[in-house]
Structure 1
Protein backbone atom coordinates (compact mmCIF):
# COMPACT_ATOMS: atom_id res chain seq x y z
CA UNK A 1 0.00 0.00 0.00
CA UNK A 2 1.26 3.48 -0.84
CA UNK A 3 2.06 5.67 2.15
CA UNK A 4 0.02 8.50 0.70
CA UNK A 5 -2.83 7.34 -1.49
CA UNK A 6 -3.46 9.66 -4.45
CA UNK A 7 -5.95 9.47 -7.30
CA UNK A 8 -5.11 10.59 -10.82
CA UNK A 9 -7.47 12.46 -13.11
CA UNK A 10 -7.97 9.29 -15.16
CA UNK A 11 -9.63 7.66 -12.15
CA UNK A 12 -12.21 10.42 -11.89
CA UNK A 13 -15.34 10.11 -14.00
CA UNK A 14 -17.14 13.31 -13.03
CA UNK A 15 -15.71 16.14 -10.97
CA UNK A 16 -17.87 18.74 -9.23
CA UNK A 17 -16.59 21.99 -7.73
CA UNK A 18 -18.19 23.01 -4.43
CA UNK A 19 -17.73 25.84 -1.98
CA UNK A 20 -16.37 25.19 1.49
CA UNK A 21 -19.83 25.50 3.12
CA UNK A 22 -21.24 22.78 0.86
CA UNK A 23 -18.08 20.71 1.41
CA UNK A 24 -18.56 20.81 5.19
CA UNK A 25 -22.30 20.17 4.86
CA UNK A 26 -21.63 17.06 2.81
CA UNK A 27 -18.98 15.77 5.22
CA UNK A 28 -21.34 16.22 8.17
CA UNK A 29 -23.80 13.86 6.50
CA UNK A 30 -21.36 10.93 6.58
CA UNK A 31 -21.75 8.30 9.33
CA UNK A 32 -19.18 8.57 12.09
CA UNK A 33 -18.39 4.86 12.11
CA UNK A 34 -17.22 4.93 8.48
CA UNK A 35 -16.38 8.60 8.11
CA UNK A 36 -12.88 8.31 6.65
CA UNK A 37 -13.92 5.96 3.85
CA UNK A 38 -16.77 8.25 2.84
CA UNK A 39 -14.42 11.25 2.75
CA UNK A 40 -11.89 9.35 0.65
CA UNK A 41 -14.59 8.56 -1.91
CA UNK A 42 -16.03 12.08 -1.83
CA UNK A 43 -12.78 13.91 -2.59
CA UNK A 44 -12.26 11.80 -5.71
CA UNK A 45 -15.22 13.52 -7.34
CA UNK A 46 -15.26 16.96 -5.69
CA UNK A 47 -12.95 19.96 -5.87
CA UNK A 48 -12.98 23.04 -3.66
CA UNK A 49 -13.77 26.51 -4.98
CA UNK A 50 -10.78 28.61 -3.93
CA UNK A 51 -12.83 31.82 -3.64
CA UNK A 52 -15.04 30.24 -0.96
CA UNK A 53 -11.99 29.87 1.30
CA UNK A 54 -11.00 33.54 1.29
CA UNK A 55 -12.17 34.22 4.86
CA UNK A 56 -9.82 31.46 6.09
CA UNK A 57 -6.85 32.39 3.88
CA UNK A 58 -4.37 33.90 6.35
CA UNK A 59 -0.80 33.75 5.08
CA UNK A 60 2.24 34.54 7.24
CA UNK A 61 5.77 35.22 5.95
CA UNK A 62 7.75 33.07 8.39
CA UNK A 63 5.63 29.95 8.80
CA UNK A 64 2.59 28.22 7.34
CA UNK A 65 -0.68 28.77 9.21
CA UNK A 66 -3.46 26.48 10.50
CA UNK A 67 -6.93 28.02 10.25
CA UNK A 68 -9.89 26.21 11.81
CA UNK A 69 -12.97 25.99 9.57
CA UNK A 70 -15.13 23.44 11.40
CA UNK A 71 -14.87 21.07 14.35
CA UNK A 72 -17.17 18.59 16.06
CA UNK A 73 -16.74 15.20 17.74
CA UNK A 74 -16.41 13.37 14.42
CA UNK A 75 -13.99 15.53 12.46
CA UNK A 76 -12.30 18.87 12.05
CA UNK A 77 -11.43 20.77 8.89
CA UNK A 78 -8.61 23.30 8.67
CA UNK A 79 -7.31 25.54 5.90
CA UNK A 80 -3.51 25.49 5.80
CA UNK A 81 -1.87 28.43 4.06
CA UNK A 82 1.61 28.06 2.59
CA UNK A 83 3.92 30.71 1.21
CA UNK A 84 6.46 29.41 -1.34
CA UNK A 85 8.97 27.07 0.29
CA UNK A 86 7.20 26.80 3.64
CA UNK A 87 7.31 23.38 5.27
CA UNK A 88 5.77 21.62 8.25
CA UNK A 89 7.73 19.77 10.89
CA UNK A 90 7.89 16.01 10.56
CA UNK A 91 4.84 14.89 12.54
CA UNK A 92 2.33 12.13 13.19
CA UNK A 93 -1.47 12.16 13.41
CA UNK A 94 -2.25 10.39 16.69
CA UNK A 95 -3.98 7.56 14.84
CA UNK A 96 -6.48 9.91 13.20
CA UNK A 97 -7.09 9.58 9.49
CA UNK A 98 -6.29 12.63 7.40
CA UNK A 99 -7.40 13.72 3.94
CA UNK A 100 -5.73 16.66 2.16
CA UNK A 101 -7.50 18.61 -0.59
CA UNK A 102 -5.58 21.34 -2.42
CA UNK A 103 -7.55 24.42 -3.51
CA UNK A 104 -4.57 26.45 -4.77
CA UNK A 105 -1.01 25.52 -5.78
CA UNK A 106 0.41 22.11 -4.95
CA UNK A 107 2.14 20.33 -2.07
CA UNK A 108 4.61 17.52 -1.52
CA UNK A 109 4.31 14.98 1.30
CA UNK A 110 7.46 13.17 2.43
CA UNK A 111 6.75 9.98 4.37
CA UNK A 112 9.14 8.88 7.13
CA UNK A 113 9.55 5.55 8.88
CA UNK A 114 10.47 5.72 12.57
CA UNK A 115 13.16 3.33 13.86
CA UNK A 116 14.97 2.78 17.19
CA UNK A 117 12.37 4.69 19.16
CA UNK A 118 13.37 5.18 22.80
CA UNK A 119 10.46 6.63 24.75
CA UNK A 120 12.55 7.21 27.86
CA UNK A 121 15.19 9.24 26.05
CA UNK A 122 12.83 10.74 23.48
CA UNK A 123 15.10 9.69 20.63
CA UNK A 124 14.55 7.92 17.33
CA UNK A 125 15.95 7.52 13.85
CA UNK A 126 14.02 8.53 10.73
CA UNK A 127 14.19 6.86 7.35
CA UNK A 128 12.77 8.61 4.29
CA UNK A 129 9.92 6.86 2.51
CA UNK A 130 7.96 7.80 -0.59
CA UNK A 131 7.57 11.40 -1.75
CA UNK A 132 4.07 12.13 -3.04
CA UNK A 133 2.49 15.06 -4.88
CA UNK A 134 -0.80 16.52 -3.66
CA UNK A 135 -2.57 18.69 -6.23
CA UNK A 136 -6.09 19.79 -7.09
CA UNK A 137 -6.39 16.67 -9.20
CA UNK A 138 -4.69 14.38 -6.66
CA UNK A 139 -6.02 14.67 -3.11
CA UNK A 140 -3.97 12.82 -0.52
CA UNK A 141 -4.95 10.40 2.22
CA UNK A 142 -2.42 9.64 4.93
CA UNK A 143 -1.93 5.89 5.36
CA UNK A 144 -2.32 4.80 8.99
CA UNK A 145 0.39 2.19 8.42
CA UNK A 146 2.88 5.04 7.83
CA UNK A 147 1.40 8.16 9.45
CA UNK A 148 4.62 10.16 9.97
CA UNK A 149 5.25 12.74 7.27
CA UNK A 150 6.34 16.26 6.39
CA UNK A 151 4.42 18.56 4.03
CA UNK A 152 5.91 21.41 2.00
CA UNK A 153 5.01 23.91 -0.68
CA UNK A 154 7.64 23.29 -3.36
CA UNK A 155 6.36 25.90 -5.80
CA UNK A 156 7.09 29.56 -6.44
CA UNK A 157 3.55 30.66 -5.61
CA UNK A 158 1.23 30.26 -2.64
CA UNK A 159 -0.63 27.07 -1.81
CA UNK A 160 -3.84 26.60 0.16
CA UNK A 161 -5.03 23.20 1.31
CA UNK A 162 -7.93 21.90 3.38
CA UNK A 163 -7.07 19.11 5.83
CA UNK A 164 -9.86 16.92 7.19
CA UNK A 165 -9.00 14.96 10.34
CA UNK A 166 -11.24 12.26 11.78
CA UNK A 167 -11.51 12.51 15.57
CA UNK A 168 -10.11 16.00 16.33
CA UNK A 169 -6.90 16.16 18.36
CA UNK A 170 -5.00 18.93 20.14
CA UNK A 171 -1.48 17.49 20.21
CA UNK A 172 0.83 15.51 17.99
CA UNK A 173 4.36 14.17 18.03
CA UNK A 174 7.00 16.21 16.21
CA UNK A 175 10.19 14.55 15.04
CA UNK A 176 13.44 16.51 14.76
CA UNK A 177 15.69 14.77 12.19
CA UNK A 178 18.82 16.82 12.87
CA UNK A 179 18.70 16.18 16.62
CA UNK A 180 17.34 12.63 16.36
CA UNK A 181 14.62 13.44 18.89
CA UNK A 182 10.84 13.58 19.11
CA UNK A 183 8.38 15.10 21.54
CA UNK A 184 4.72 16.00 21.98
CA UNK A 185 3.59 19.50 21.01
CA UNK A 186 0.31 21.34 21.43
CA UNK A 187 -1.30 22.36 18.16
CA UNK A 188 -2.21 26.03 17.64
CA UNK A 189 -4.71 27.62 15.27
CA UNK A 190 -3.73 30.92 13.63
CA UNK A 191 -7.42 31.65 13.17
CA UNK A 192 -10.71 30.04 14.13
CA UNK A 193 -13.87 30.39 12.04
CA UNK A 194 -12.36 33.30 10.13
CA UNK A 195 -11.13 35.26 13.17
CA UNK A 196 -7.44 35.69 13.97
CA UNK A 197 -6.33 34.18 17.28
CA UNK A 198 -2.52 34.39 17.53
CA UNK A 199 0.81 34.33 15.76
CA UNK A 200 1.95 30.98 14.32
CA UNK A 201 3.75 28.76 16.81
CA UNK A 202 7.54 28.75 16.79
CA UNK A 203 9.41 25.84 15.24
CA UNK A 204 9.46 23.22 18.04
CA UNK A 205 12.65 21.68 16.65
CA UNK A 206 14.54 24.95 16.28
CA UNK A 207 16.33 23.51 13.26
Structure 2
Protein backbone atom coordinates (compact mmCIF):
# COMPACT_ATOMS: atom_id res chain seq x y z
CA UNK A 1 0.00 0.00 0.00
CA UNK A 2 1.49 3.37 -0.97
CA UNK A 3 1.38 6.38 1.37
CA UNK A 4 -1.63 7.93 -0.39
CA UNK A 5 -3.62 4.71 -0.09
CA UNK A 6 -2.57 4.34 3.53
CA UNK A 7 -3.58 7.94 4.33
CA UNK A 8 -7.00 7.57 2.71
CA UNK A 9 -7.56 4.28 4.57
CA UNK A 10 -7.12 6.20 7.84
CA UNK A 11 -9.79 8.84 7.23
CA UNK A 12 -11.82 8.53 10.42
CA UNK A 13 -13.31 12.02 10.67
CA UNK A 14 -14.69 14.86 8.61
CA UNK A 15 -11.51 16.85 9.32
CA UNK A 16 -9.40 13.95 7.97
CA UNK A 17 -11.54 13.91 4.82
CA UNK A 18 -11.20 17.66 4.28
CA UNK A 19 -7.43 17.52 4.80
CA UNK A 20 -7.06 14.65 2.31
CA UNK A 21 -9.18 16.45 -0.30
CA UNK A 22 -7.11 19.61 0.12
CA UNK A 23 -3.81 17.75 -0.19
CA UNK A 24 -4.59 15.23 -2.93
CA UNK A 25 -5.23 15.49 -6.66
CA UNK A 26 -8.71 15.35 -8.14
CA UNK A 27 -7.87 11.93 -9.60
CA UNK A 28 -7.78 10.57 -6.03
CA UNK A 29 -11.16 11.96 -4.90
CA UNK A 30 -12.98 8.72 -5.64
CA UNK A 31 -10.70 6.65 -3.41
CA UNK A 32 -10.72 9.31 -0.71
CA UNK A 33 -14.51 9.65 -0.41
CA UNK A 34 -15.10 5.89 -0.62
CA UNK A 35 -12.55 5.07 2.07
CA UNK A 36 -13.62 7.73 4.58
CA UNK A 37 -15.32 6.32 7.69
CA UNK A 38 -17.24 9.32 9.00
CA UNK A 39 -19.15 9.34 12.29
CA UNK A 40 -22.59 10.98 12.10
CA UNK A 41 -21.63 13.26 15.01
CA UNK A 42 -19.07 15.03 12.80
CA UNK A 43 -21.96 16.63 10.90
CA UNK A 44 -23.82 18.18 13.85
CA UNK A 45 -22.42 21.68 13.20
CA UNK A 46 -23.45 21.51 9.52
CA UNK A 47 -26.93 20.01 9.91
CA UNK A 48 -29.92 22.19 9.16
CA UNK A 49 -33.28 20.99 7.91
CA UNK A 50 -36.23 22.38 5.99
CA UNK A 51 -39.79 21.16 5.72
CA UNK A 52 -39.97 22.71 2.23
CA UNK A 53 -37.02 21.03 0.51
CA UNK A 54 -33.79 19.24 1.36
CA UNK A 55 -31.25 21.69 2.82
CA UNK A 56 -27.88 22.34 1.11
CA UNK A 57 -25.32 22.99 3.86
CA UNK A 58 -21.82 24.01 2.78
CA UNK A 59 -18.98 22.40 4.70
CA UNK A 60 -16.09 23.68 2.57
CA UNK A 61 -15.75 25.36 -0.79
CA UNK A 62 -12.57 26.28 -2.61
CA UNK A 63 -11.37 26.46 -6.22
CA UNK A 64 -10.81 22.70 -6.42
CA UNK A 65 -13.93 21.23 -4.80
CA UNK A 66 -16.96 21.78 -2.63
CA UNK A 67 -18.26 19.49 0.07
CA UNK A 68 -21.95 19.87 0.91
CA UNK A 69 -24.11 18.10 3.48
CA UNK A 70 -27.65 17.64 2.24
CA UNK A 71 -30.19 17.18 5.02
CA UNK A 72 -33.44 15.54 4.01
CA UNK A 73 -36.79 15.09 5.68
CA UNK A 74 -38.57 11.81 4.92
CA UNK A 75 -39.77 11.65 1.31
CA UNK A 76 -37.93 14.71 0.01
CA UNK A 77 -36.35 14.44 -3.44
CA UNK A 78 -34.44 16.46 -5.99
CA UNK A 79 -35.69 17.40 -9.40
CA UNK A 80 -34.07 15.55 -12.30
CA UNK A 81 -30.82 17.41 -12.95
CA UNK A 82 -27.29 17.43 -14.32
CA UNK A 83 -24.13 18.64 -12.58
CA UNK A 84 -23.08 21.63 -14.61
CA UNK A 85 -20.24 19.66 -16.18
CA UNK A 86 -18.63 18.70 -12.85
CA UNK A 87 -17.97 15.34 -11.23
CA UNK A 88 -20.15 14.42 -8.25
CA UNK A 89 -19.78 11.78 -5.55
CA UNK A 90 -22.60 11.16 -3.07
CA UNK A 91 -21.78 9.36 0.17
CA UNK A 92 -24.77 8.35 2.28
CA UNK A 93 -24.23 9.37 5.89
CA UNK A 94 -27.58 8.34 7.34
CA UNK A 95 -30.75 6.92 5.83
CA UNK A 96 -31.66 5.21 2.58
CA UNK A 97 -31.85 6.86 -0.83
CA UNK A 98 -33.11 5.95 -4.27
CA UNK A 99 -31.16 7.33 -7.22
CA UNK A 100 -32.92 7.24 -10.58
CA UNK A 101 -30.92 7.93 -13.74
CA UNK A 102 -32.26 9.29 -17.01
CA UNK A 103 -31.18 9.85 -20.59
CA UNK A 104 -32.75 11.55 -23.57
CA UNK A 105 -33.98 9.17 -26.25
CA UNK A 106 -33.67 9.77 -29.99
CA UNK A 107 -36.72 12.09 -29.92
CA UNK A 108 -35.29 14.12 -27.03
CA UNK A 109 -37.75 12.69 -24.52
CA UNK A 110 -36.43 11.91 -21.05
CA UNK A 111 -36.49 8.21 -20.13
CA UNK A 112 -35.54 6.40 -16.93
CA UNK A 113 -32.58 4.07 -17.49
CA UNK A 114 -31.85 2.68 -14.01
CA UNK A 115 -32.41 3.04 -10.30
CA UNK A 116 -30.27 2.17 -7.32
CA UNK A 117 -30.86 2.04 -3.56
CA UNK A 118 -28.01 3.36 -1.38
CA UNK A 119 -27.56 3.07 2.37
CA UNK A 120 -25.07 4.41 4.92
CA UNK A 121 -21.47 4.51 3.61
CA UNK A 122 -22.48 3.69 0.03
CA UNK A 123 -21.04 6.05 -2.58
CA UNK A 124 -22.44 6.84 -6.02
CA UNK A 125 -20.78 8.79 -8.82
CA UNK A 126 -22.27 10.98 -11.53
CA UNK A 127 -21.00 13.19 -14.34
CA UNK A 128 -23.02 14.74 -17.15
CA UNK A 129 -22.02 12.31 -19.93
CA UNK A 130 -23.73 9.61 -17.84
CA UNK A 131 -27.07 11.41 -18.17
CA UNK A 132 -29.26 13.01 -15.54
CA UNK A 133 -30.43 11.84 -12.16
CA UNK A 134 -32.59 12.54 -9.13
CA UNK A 135 -32.21 11.46 -5.52
CA UNK A 136 -34.99 10.66 -3.07
CA UNK A 137 -34.88 10.01 0.66
CA UNK A 138 -36.90 6.81 0.91
CA UNK A 139 -36.32 6.53 4.66
CA UNK A 140 -39.17 7.17 7.04
CA UNK A 141 -36.91 9.59 8.92
CA UNK A 142 -34.46 12.45 8.50
CA UNK A 143 -31.42 11.48 6.47
CA UNK A 144 -28.10 12.98 5.38
CA UNK A 145 -25.95 12.67 2.28
CA UNK A 146 -22.50 14.14 1.67
CA UNK A 147 -21.89 15.57 -1.81
CA UNK A 148 -18.41 16.12 -3.17
CA UNK A 149 -18.13 18.15 -6.37
CA UNK A 150 -14.80 18.36 -8.19
CA UNK A 151 -14.97 22.11 -8.84
CA UNK A 152 -17.87 23.93 -7.19
CA UNK A 153 -21.13 23.89 -9.14
CA UNK A 154 -22.64 27.35 -9.63
CA UNK A 155 -25.57 26.29 -11.80
CA UNK A 156 -27.07 23.19 -13.33
CA UNK A 157 -29.92 22.18 -15.60
CA UNK A 158 -33.08 21.07 -13.82
CA UNK A 159 -36.00 19.30 -15.48
CA UNK A 160 -39.20 21.34 -15.22
CA UNK A 161 -42.15 18.93 -15.00
CA UNK A 162 -44.68 21.53 -16.24
CA UNK A 163 -42.88 22.45 -19.45
CA UNK A 164 -41.09 19.08 -19.89
CA UNK A 165 -37.89 21.03 -20.53
CA UNK A 166 -34.63 21.62 -18.73
CA UNK A 167 -34.11 25.06 -17.26
CA UNK A 168 -30.92 26.58 -15.91
CA UNK A 169 -30.87 27.01 -12.14
CA UNK A 170 -28.38 29.02 -10.08
CA UNK A 171 -27.36 27.08 -6.99
CA UNK A 172 -27.01 28.43 -3.47
CA UNK A 173 -26.51 27.13 0.04
CA UNK A 174 -29.04 27.11 2.86
CA UNK A 175 -26.18 27.45 5.33
CA UNK A 176 -22.64 28.53 4.65
CA UNK A 177 -20.50 28.14 7.79
CA UNK A 178 -17.30 27.93 5.75
CA UNK A 179 -17.14 31.73 5.17
Same fold (TM over 0.5): yes
Higher helix share: 2
Q: Which of 49, 62, 65 is the aligned partner of 1:72? A: 62
Q: Which of 103, 113, 120 is the aligned partner of 1:129? A: 113
Q: Which of 156, 159, 166 is the aligned partner of 1:182? A: 166
Which structure 1 segments of 5+ residues have no match?
A: 1-14, 118-123, 196-207
TM-score of the two chains, using structure 2 as the length reference: 0.87
1:95 aligns with 2:85: yes
Return structure 1 stretches of 4+ with deviation > 4 angstroms: none
Q: Which of 21, 37, 47 is the aligned partner of 2:15? A: 21
How many equivalent residue pairs? 172
CA-CA distance at 1:101 after TM superposition: 0.9
SS of 1:48's equivalent?
A: coil
CA-CA distance at 1:145 after TM superposition: 2.7
Which residue number in structure 2 is paired with residue 166 of structure 1? 150
CA-CA distance at 1:16 after TM superposition: 5.5
Q: 1:173-197: CA deviations, max 9, x gaps?
A: 00124531111011121000179xx
SS of 1:145's equivalent?
A: helix
CA-CA distance at 1:94 after TM superposition: 1.4
Which structure 2 segments of 5+ residues have no match?
A: 1-8
Q: RMSD of the TM alignment (CA)? A: 2.1
1 CA distance for matches of 2:10 and 2:104?
Answer: 38
Which residue number in structure 2 is paired with residue 48 of structure 1? 38
Provide closer, same or farther for how the CA distance between residues 174 and 165 of structure 1 changes in structure 2, counting only shifts above 3 A: same
